[in-house]
Structure 1
């Protein structure tokens, strides 16, 4: 199983689309549960846990990260970080990580506009340090937030050119007031979906040369279409993945620290509550590919049904764009140009959502 472990509710940045730290009333900035208590709870449930450090910004509290890594010696570790505090952990700790997600949105002007002046350069410094000085063998993933200012093809290809092993993105929709459903749909038709198609063509041309690009939404969707369909939201929230908040509560979703529906239990009593998807997702023809997209959106209707349907529309179009190339991907695997395992991407090992 995948476990998100919040080390703090605090963040040292305040990004435009995020707002920064959690309210300490909902996610205390110092953990109330010891590393040993958390490790004991996880070990009772899961013999082979995948543990991702989360926040806030998890490296605001590096000592807790180290304590958990010592207490859970047999786990596979990962981290989602903004990349500005990476030197707070020693190189030997970084060498134990299997996956590192660094938040960066694209070129310097876009990243700094969203995340603060100088953040782009600090993230690239972190990338170089991890790969060339620390010699971390981990997969380093660029984690993008896609906003109105984003240009998907430009931003993804830029990040891949910098040396990231893979790129994942999430659309800034549903919980934002940046735009509404109709504005989002207009932007998607004019900019985003054409760029999905351009990226697909790039993905195919590289695959024909035997190189599978680390474009995570494509890998996750092709895995569902060709190898193993999803029976739940791809990130696993509430079924195959849980978060442990700094107050000891177990959450169905790591961003839902204040929402009552997300309370799955507590490390002192176990997991006691379940969740479900909307009926429209249970009967959807793309459920095996999308899985329901995002558990949080099933419970928090900030955009209402119109907004939920708008994002669903874009998701279906994205899947159809990739479906068009399915025969080519299948043939490349059959001919041995690319390997089946190159497409068999498991989001639970990287803590990614797959469906943007």
Structure 2
């Protein structure tokens, strides 16, 4: 199981697409449950948990991170951070982390526009500090938000060129004021989907040389097409993944701190409520690849049906674009040029999205 632990509802940044800190009424900035209490709740339910520290910005409360790590010695640890406060956590604890997700959207002009002036430089410095001085053997993943100013191929190539092990992205859609469904579709047709095809071609070319690029949406979709399909939303929210909020509520989704549907239970009483997908997703022919995409969007319909349809259309076109190359990748697997196990990607181990 994947467990997100919110160490605080506060954030030291105020990015354009999320607005920064959670309202403290919904996610208190100082945890109201002790780290060992949360660790005990997890340990009683999961002998081999994957625990990711989350926020807000989790490194605003490094003490909480340290105490949970001490209380769960057999867990696999990860963290999703904006990368500006990495020195708050001592190096010896970084060396126990398996996966680090650093939030960065591409080159400086894109990252700093959406996340704030100077953020790009600080994230790159964090990457180099973790790799160099700390000697962290962790997988370091660039966590992108893709928006109107993004250029997918350029931005992914840039981040891989910086030395990130992998890149994943989420589309800034459905709960944003940056654009609406029609503008999003126009941008997707003119920019995003052509770049998905360019990434596919680059991915296949590298595979033919025996190298599997860490482009997580491609890895995740090819896993579903060639290895094994998904039986739920790929991030696992509400079934294989839960979040513990700072006041002790257990949530289906870590970003849904104020939404009533997202409360799955409480660490004092256990998990008592389930989640479900829309009927249209349960019967969709792409369900085994898409999995339903994102649980949050099933309940929070800011863009309405038109918006849900728009994102579905782009998701289907993305799958079909990648599907074209699936036979070639299967040939390379059979020939031993690349390994089948490299495509058996488990997003729960990295807390990533494989369907943007």
The two structures have a TM-score, normalised by structure 1, of: 1.00
Q: Distance in 1 between matches of 2:257 and 2:353?
A: 18
2:194 counterpart residue number: 194
- Offset of 1:133 from its aligned partner? 1.1
Structure-2 residue corresponding to 1:316:
316
Q: Distance in 1 between matches of 2:273 and 2:185?
A: 35
Alignment pair present for 1:116 and 2:116: yes
The alpha carbon displacement at 1:95 in A equals 0.2
Q: Which runs of structure 2 are paired with 1:51-90 in the superposition (5 Å)?
A: 51-90=51-90
In the alignment, structure 1 segments of 5+ residues that lack a partner are none
Partner of 1:348: 348
Distance 2:199 2:326 in 1: 14
CA distance in 1, matches of 2:179, 2:283: 29
Q: Are 2:50 and 1:50 equivalent residues in the alignment?
A: yes
RMSD: 0.4
Q: Distance in 1 between matches of 2:339 and 2:174?
A: 36
Q: Alpha-carbon deviation of 1:179?
A: 0.6
Q: Provide the rounded CA distance (Å) in 2 between the counterparts of 1:53 and 1:234.
A: 19
Give the Å deviation of 1:54. Answer: 0.1
Matched with 1:155 is 155
Equivalent pairs, count: 356
Shift in Å, 1:177: 1.1
1:91 Cα deviation (Å)? Answer: 0.6
State the match for 1:15 in structure 2: 15
Paired residue secondary structure (1:40)? helix
Residue of structure 2 equivalent to 1:91: 91
Cα distance between partner residues in 2 of 1:95 and 1:124: 19
Residues of 2 paired with 1:290 and 1:353: CA distance? 11
CA distance, structure 1, for counterparts of residue 48 and residue 142 of structure 2: 26
What is residue 293 of structure 1 aligned with on the other side? 293
Counterpart-to-counterpart distance in 2, 1:304 and 1:46: 37
Q: Which residue of 2 aligns with 1:262?
A: 262
Q: Secondary structure of 2:306's match?
A: helix
SS in 2 for 1:336: coil
Could you tell me how far apart the structure 1 residues matched to 2:228 and 2:8 are? 35
Residue in 1 that maps onto 2:243: 243
Cα distance in 2 for partners of 1:51, 1:142 equals: 19
The equivalent of 1:35 in structure 2 is 35
Deviation at 1:251, TM superposition (A): 0.1
| Partner SS, residue 132 of structure 2 | helix
Deviating above 3 A after TM superposition, structure 1's stretches of 4 or more consecutive aligned residues are: none
Give 1:261 deviation, angstroms: 0.2
Distance 1:330 1:227 in 2: 10
* Structure 2 unaligned blocks of 5 or more: none
Q: 1:114 offset after TM fit, Å? A: 0.6
Q: CA deviation at 1:8?
A: 0.1
SS at the partner of 1:133? coil
